[in-house]
Structure 1
Amino acid sequence: DYEGYSSIKLNNGFKDPSLCRETIGYWVLRHFMEAPQANYARVYVNGAYFGLYTSVESVNKSFAERRFESDKDNPFFKGDAEPAPPPPGCPPAQPGATLNYLGDEQACYETHYEIESDTGWNELIQLCYAIEAEHSLAPMRMETDRFLWMSVFNSLTVNLDSYLGSITHNYYLFRRDNGRFVPVIWDLNECFGGFNQLSSGMPLSISEMQQLSPDANKDLPGKPLLDLLLNEQRYRKMYYAHYRAMLEHFFANGAYLAKAEELQALISQAVQDDPNALYSFSDFEDNLYQSVNITGPGGNPFSIVGLHELMDARTSYLQSTPEWQVTAPQLGNFQPSAYAAMPGEQLWISIETQEADSCWLLYRYSSAEDFSMLPMYDDGNHEDGAAGDGIFGTSVNMGNTGLQFAFYGENVEAGTFLPYNATFAYYELGIASDIAINELMASNTTTQADQDGEFDDWVELYNNTSQLVSLEGYHLSDDESDLQKWTFPAGAQIEAQGYLIVWLDKDETQQGLHANFKLSADGEALFLSDPDGNLLDGVQFGAQLTDYAYARCPNGSGSFSILAPTFQASNETACLTDTREASEEEAWQFYPNPVTGSLYWQAPQGAQYPLEIRLSDLQGKLWLEQTLNAAEGSLPMQDLPTGMYLLFIEGKREPVKLVVLKL
């Protein structure tokens, strides 16, 4: 076990002289869908340096449980299997994990997929039936948006050793608790044109890869997923909306190349020192920009296209195609009727648009759910201003633990999402409550002991009012179907703008407030309700870090994130305080904050470069990262969702942390 990871996968860069294909590919993917982490490892054997490897997070049950907040024993498949003739009674089928419907017999699928769970074949068969035979069932069997992002990535980066290419493999399927399958891409050492076999015909030339159509293979009989996503009008517009977003934010602006150059600089010395390197150091440097000739298995020579050589020409080609000449909708400022509301309370949400004929609110109540599409209206009757003014509105009720939402606009030519990487990214509104669940700790080993010296789980409540509030008869629970699991005793109260701790240790025999349940550090939920059983506040949380709190930022009303604990005190110190005390000459300057466009920064005197700057939301999702080599610059934030972000700067000194508000 190493920092919670039980498996380490080391890859030697086969068919990737640049040693960047995997790390860059996964880096891009993680902005749009769940994908493995990837870095580099110097490997030593008996104290001797053996070589540099790419270290990629294993896609296993632990990965699925962490990323998808679901039971790790749910149906789980690897889209890969040893080729074999179809069993007796099974129809002829294309090779690979094609997602074709092959009838209802399990044996017909066993030669196309490897099962990673104890059960699940029936669920996989139902998925294949929806994808190929009954498209109306697809939204109930799969999280369509993740399959759209997978398909966009495979096409844009010419990742042909995938579902898109001739072998139709290299992905996983996991069925979430919500009953829908999600894909996970893996094995990216041959993305960016490292594998050039699109179909059973001749391999693609470099120019053919540079000009690979986004519609490639959509009508092949062994690609029913592409048929669904590219021939159904709504999905097709969503596919191209995602395609334009990924191209614009990571390739047309050169972000992928800057990241690759940064990574090559990081590993350059390790590559030069590698005693078992597969490629020369000049091939390593050159392949980022141009093709290099290498020797493959059996001594056969072949050429590997350069990343920049491929993607620079590919970007120009794509931007010249008809799908890039359309007038896509523009989605602008949006306005909720309230930024926090009680569970069940009606909320109105409006959004300004241009060139949109239709608009939808994509919403859900927790990250365990899939998004639903709710029509928005520009008729003057839905808190949308005047009819036909380009402002769309609709209403939705607040959920028990909050509301997560995004937008999709469409006209006859194209569609657009907001935020650009929806629905992996989304906006969020929280619960409004006089008494709020303010902070909790589900894995406490050293932070705070109870009156008996035991380090147990705890929750902190905060009174947002200026009056003392009696909590007699109120309830706490970790089960939404049983909100009255534990009841506050007679005399329980919370001071005005005060804090109250309840120990969640399943030990009511101890003095003080001790509930009859514990929290799971692997993630669950916590609810507060009044004496009549009306839900007042709730929070759903994923896996927790030991001795860290899950707390609101701002204190008492904001969204939750993992922070340093502030037991029975305001969270503002954890939200806003730098991780170190800086003298005046060491102080960083960031402006403007709040920000609507770019955030400008100026480094202190004596800063030691390079420095890494990362911008994450309060849920820990990484949105931007840069390497700083100069004393001043800017961070583009105009396309990010509104809300609070944590900015980290790391280098040779202690890290710096800043809270940034995006309007």
Structure 2
Amino acid sequence: MIFIFSFIKFNYINAQGFYDIDTIQKIEIQFFQSNWDYILDTAKQGSDGYLISKWVKINGVQFDSAGVKYKGNSSYNVNNMKNPFHIELDYVKNQNYQGYNDIKLSNGFKDPSFVREVLAYKILKKYMASSLSNYAQLYINGQLIGLYSNSEAVTKSFADKYFYSKTNPFFFMDNFGGNLAYLGTDSSLYYSKYTLKSSFGWANLVNLCNTLQNNVGNIESILDVDRTLWMLAFDNILVNLDSYIGQPMHNYYIYEDDNGRFNSIVWDVNEAFGNFTNSGSGNLNISQEQTMSPWLHLNDVPWPLINKLFTNPMFKRMYIAHAKTIVNENFTNNDYFTTAQYLQTIVDTAVQSDIYKFYTYQQFLDNITNNVTSGPQTIVGISNLMTARTSYLNSTTDFQQIAPTISNIQPSDTLPFVNSNIYITANTTNATNVFLGTRNSILEKFTRMIMFDDGAHNDGTSGDGVYGISLTITSPETQYYIYAENNNAGIFSPERAEHEYYTIHTNYNVIPYQQLVINEIMAINDTTVQNNNSLFSDWIEFYNNSSDILLLDYLYLSDNFLNPLKWQFPTGVSILPNQYFIVWADNDTVNSQSELHSNFKLSGSGEQVILSYANGVIIDSTTFYTQSTDITWGRYPNGVGSFGTMLPTIGATNSPFSVNEIKFSPEIKIFPNPADEFLNISINNNHNSNYKIKIYSITGNLVLSDDFNIFSFENFSKKYDVSNINKGMYFVKIETVNDIIIKKIIFE
């Protein structure tokens, strides 16, 4: 029996590798051309196309033919030697570095401190899904260009990582005026203000804008309001005006998850901490930035995410609760300043060696604290801004309102069974309404339910400040938070909810270690085997090593260690002793009695597969790398051995032939392929040798065998009758004393 009652911190900081905040990455670009800067400038001012590099190296790992171009608006200048870059590793070839193929490098053009972007993202990541960010030194054709901030691109891979799908409607507000204002039913009216990043979605965007304008009471059904409140609070507290809340009304994405709700994603925070001054009500001076109202644009129609959302008093109280959390956790305690100093120690030497930086080394040292003047421009010191801003915010009426308190949160049964009823109770003070937000998995949205202080919900006596609610446990885990409010203020527990939450895991038996294993994986199925839908889809094979029937209830399967709960096995699925079970990884979630389909596909360029329970118990996992077509990643010996590349044996004992054995000599010809009635094998021999020819099915069954000797310089040719062999894919194995040669063949 396994049980965990825990507090979940929903973030992805672990195992970040390429975005490790403590390490400066080394990125090298080698162009064929010596005038690469001129070519990139020309492209930037014209088609904005990519220049194909000879290679790009990341920390010594080389990628040929990567696409490179300049990016940015105000940060780009044709006269700059140090411009921002966009690198596409997979522009020509399917390749990635640690799963990342899209690299965005910012040049620090308005940041003497070199910390604004990395610091802002580090703060933001505590409260919502956002980009990882660190530093990189960039070299081009052997020359050091300088130090850059290196922030995770918001791509379909990003959506898959944080929202567990990547084909839904996806928009980038990179043009001025992407404010979600309703312009009418004609989707063409939105084209100039929004960039569609998916294959469809204009109707969904129009519906979002229409609902926000005309039916805001229904907005939670199509917008993750909590995530949006975090975004608005972050932009306001950090005076990040080059965003939705400033005049550009841009630099954010929205992605629609599988629950039909758009999720806000912050992008491009290099001008946070007061660098961009246009609030939409004019350019703010430093004093105005320090005292900028938390209700900026509350009454301004062009900002409907503010003007319309905050017609709901609960959303206003939730917004202030989030804003206070950001202030208390980062600024009142001076944590941001300690972090900024730490970041400067990481990059100090790199800043000194950056000959193309836009400010002096002394200005770098000064700007965390002091204002820096460069020409007509004054860059506000980060602590000069935030010390005064923190004092101002904490003095406002909204921040001084007395919020409820929440304590002693208790489930009545800390080891519940599925389908059992429990109570969740919490002690509160100064609350008029208390809510429980709950969901069964990270793939779902939270549902808010009113809690009771009536003496009838395991909550003590009526009116004692203890609130309770009855909850039916319907899944292996229950995620929840508490929100309490009065007429003036609200509070969450945990305070970072809905981004963080409490979790109850249920009481159930787990499969013992090594009884059930991931046995074989195919990530590029071109001709090997079809599923019941007549599709050559990716597949994952499991094997039951035990003598017992194994029930797969409560198990999850995923292709990402950071998101292990992507797909749950349907209730009642089992594997017989010493038998195999196949899951088709094809993003087709329509399952049947005869086969199962996961909600993700495998990547031929490599990733992970993990089989685990919601309580964190991992049954099996593997990491595979770039795969070959119709070749698998499997265990040998079957069910117990280590993983390696091999010939496919779906639903059967894994083959001992590894891909390292697959060679093909020009002296040997096998034809035709595909073959029908006859198969010809010809050998142009230049030495004495014994030849063994064997043909195997993909399940490892031997269907044809031959053995003969050929003397030196003797040519051999033989026609084999294969008319009685079933149609499908087979492997021809030709073995000599010195070589093993394996060739894939199709019989029709």
* TM-score normalised by structure 1 residue count: 0.69
Partner of residue 168, structure 1: 249
Matched, 1:262 2:342: yes
| Cα separation, partners in 2 of 1:8 and 1:36, compared to 1, 3 Å | same
Structure 1 271/422 Cα, relative in aligned 2: closer, same or farther at 3 Å?
same
Paired with 2:580 and 2:320, the residues of 1 have a C-alpha distance of 54
Q: Any residues of structure 2 matched to 1:190-229 within 5 Å, and which? A: 190-201=271-282, 203-229=283-309
Letter in 2 for 1:559: G
Q: Deviation of residue 353 (structure 1)?
A: 1.3
Output one character per residue of 1:245-270: Cα deviation in whole Å (capped at 9) or x when no partner.
11001111011111110000100000
Aligned-pair Cα RMSD in Å: 3.5
CA distance in structure 2 between the aligned counterparts of 1:224 and 1:121, rounded to whole angstroms: 18
Distance in 2 (alpha carbons) for counterparts of 1:488 and 1:377:
45
Q: Which amino acid aligns with 2:313?
A: Q
Query: Counterpart in 2 of 1:78?
Result: 172
- The amino acid that maps onto 2:148 is Y
Match of 1:117 in 2: 198
- Distance across 2 between alignment mates of 1:442 and 1:350: 41
2:121 corresponds to 1:41: no
Distance 1:48 1:562 in 2: 48
> What does 1:379-390 correspond to in 2, within 5 Å?
379-390=454-465
Cα deviations by residue, 1:212-242 (Å, 9 ceiling, x for unpaired):
0000111111011101333320100000011
How far apart are the structure 2 equivalents of 1:475 and 1:288?
50
Distance in structure 2 (CA, Å) of the matches to 1:375 and 1:17 = 49
1:337 maps to: 412
Hey, what does 2:180 align to over in structure 1?
A: 99
* Residue identity opposite 2:279 in structure 1: L
- Contact 1:171–1:185 (8 Å) recurs in 2: yes
What do the CA deviations read for 1:104-144 (whole angstroms, capped 9, x no partner)? 00111112111111110000011111112111120111010
* 8 Å Cα contact 1:66/1:543 also seen in 2: no
The amino acid of 2:187's aligned partner reads Q
CA distance 1:54–1:428, change in 2 (3 Å): same
Deviations 1:19-73 (Å, cap 9, x if unpaired)? 1111011101100001001000011123332210001111011101111112x11
Q: Distance in 2 between matches of 1:136 and 1:105?
A: 23
Amino acid at match of 2:197: E
Distance 1:68 1:471, change over 3 A: closer
Alignment of 1:197-596 (within 5 A): 197-201=278-282, 203-295=283-375, 301-435=376-510, 458=542, 483-484=571-572, 486-489=573-576, 492=577, 512-517=578-583, 549=610, 551=612, 558-560=615-617
Output the CA distance in 2 between the equivalents of 1:475 and 1:187.
40
Name the aligned partner's letter for residue 431 of structure 1: T
- Which residue does 2:731 correspond to in 1? none
Q: Against the structure 1 CA distance between its residues 25 and 460, is the aligned structure 2 distance closer, same or farther, given a 3 Å change threshold? A: farther
Gaps of 5+ in 2: 1-95, 522-538, 558-566, 623-634, 641-748
| 4+ long deviations beyond 6 Å | 437-445, 459-462, 472-481, 522-527, 539-545, 561-565
TM-score where L is the length of structure 2: 0.62
Deviation at 1:316, TM superposition (A): 0.5
Q: How far 1:401 sits from its partner (Å)?
A: 3.5
Match of 2:260 in 1: 179
Match of 2:164 in 1: 69
Contact 2:552 2:569 survives alignment (8 Å): no
Shift of 1:367: 0.9
Question: Aligned AA for 1:386?
Answer: T
Q: Tell me, yes or no, if the aligned pair for 1:525 and 1:541 is still in contact at 8 Å.
A: no
Q: Distance in 1 between matches of 2:181 and 2:360?
A: 43
Asked if the contact 1:8/1:58 (under 8 Å) is kept, the reply is yes
Distance in 2 between the 1:156 and 1:481 partners? 43
Question: Residue 469 of structure 1: CA displacement?
Answer: 7.8
The one-letter amino acid paired with 1:419 is P
Please state how far the C-alpha of 1:413 moved relative to its aligned partner.
Answer: 1.4
> Sequence identity, in percent?
34
Pair 1:403–1:50, CA change in 2 (3 A): same
How far apart are residue 560 of structure 1 and its match? 4.8
Q: Deviations over 1:590-609 (max 9, x none)?
A: xxxxxxxxxxxxxxxxxxxx
2:306, 2:544 → 1: CA distance?
Answer: 49
Distance 1:474 1:144, change over 3 A: closer
Structure 1 letter corresponding to 2:370: Q
CA distance in 2, matches of 1:518, 1:212: 54
Cα-to-partner distance string for 1:512-543 (whole Å, 9 max, x where unaligned): 221132568x999999x9xxxxxxxxx99999
- Label 1:139 to 1:45 Cα distance change in 2 as closer, same or farther (>3 A): same
Structure 1 match to 2:208? 127
- Cα pair 1:96 1:168 within 8 Å, conserved: yes
How far did 1:563 drift?
A: 9.3
**What letter corresponds to residue 470 of structure 2 in structure 1?**
S
- Structure 2 residue aligned with 1:145: 226
Alpha-carbon distance between aligned partners in 2 of 1:432 and 1:12, rounded to the nearest angstrom = 52
Mapped to 2, the partners of 1:150 and 1:253 lie a distance apart of 21
Deviation per residue, 1:165-204 (Å, 9 max, x gap): 1111110010001100001011111111000111253x11
Residues 189, 76 of structure 1: CA spacing in aligned structure 2 closer, same or farther, 3 A cutoff?
same
Q: Letter of the aligned partner of 2:314 in structure 1?
A: R
Deviations along 1:545-583, one digit per CA (max 9) or x if unpaired, are 95785546xxxx943579988x999xxxxxxxxxxxxxx
- CA contact 1:377–1:384 (8 Å) conserved in 2: yes
Structure 1: distance between partners of 2:504 and 2:261: 25
Distance verdict in 2 for CA 1:241–1:47, change over 3 Å = same
3-state SS of the aligned residue for 2:461? Answer: coil
How far off is 1:400 after superposition? 2.5
Q: Which has more radius of gyration? A: 2
For 1:443 and 1:219, locate their aligned partners in 2 and report how far apart those are by CA, in whole Å: 60
Q: Is the 8 A contact 1:291 1:305 kept in 2?
A: yes
Q: 1:546 to 1:265 in 2, by over 3 A?
A: same
Contact 1:526 1:540 in 2 (8 A): no
The answer for the alignment partner of 1:3 in structure 2 is 98
Structure-2 change in CA distance of 1:393 and 1:281 (3 Å) = same
Task: Give, in whole Å, the separation in 2 of the partners of 1:120 and 1:213.
Answer: 35
Task: Count residues with an aligned counterpart.
Answer: 498
Once residues 146 and 12 of structure 1 are traced to their aligned partners in structure 2, the CA distance between those partners, rounded to angstroms, is: 29
1:312 counterpart letter in structure 2: T
Q: 2:104 and 2:552 mapped to 1: Cα distance?
A: 52
1:457-511 per-residue CA deviation (whole Å, 9 max, x = no partner) reads 548899xxxxx98659999897879645x5444xx5xxxxxxxxxxxxxxxxxxx
Judging changes above 3 Å, is the alpha-carbon distance between structure 1 residues 473 and 28 closer, same or farther for their aligned structure 2 residues? closer
Counterpart secondary structure, 2:483: strand
Q: Provide the secondary structure at the position in 2 that maps to 1:429.
A: strand
Change (3 A) 1:523 1:27: farther
42-51 or 180-189, which deviates more:
42-51
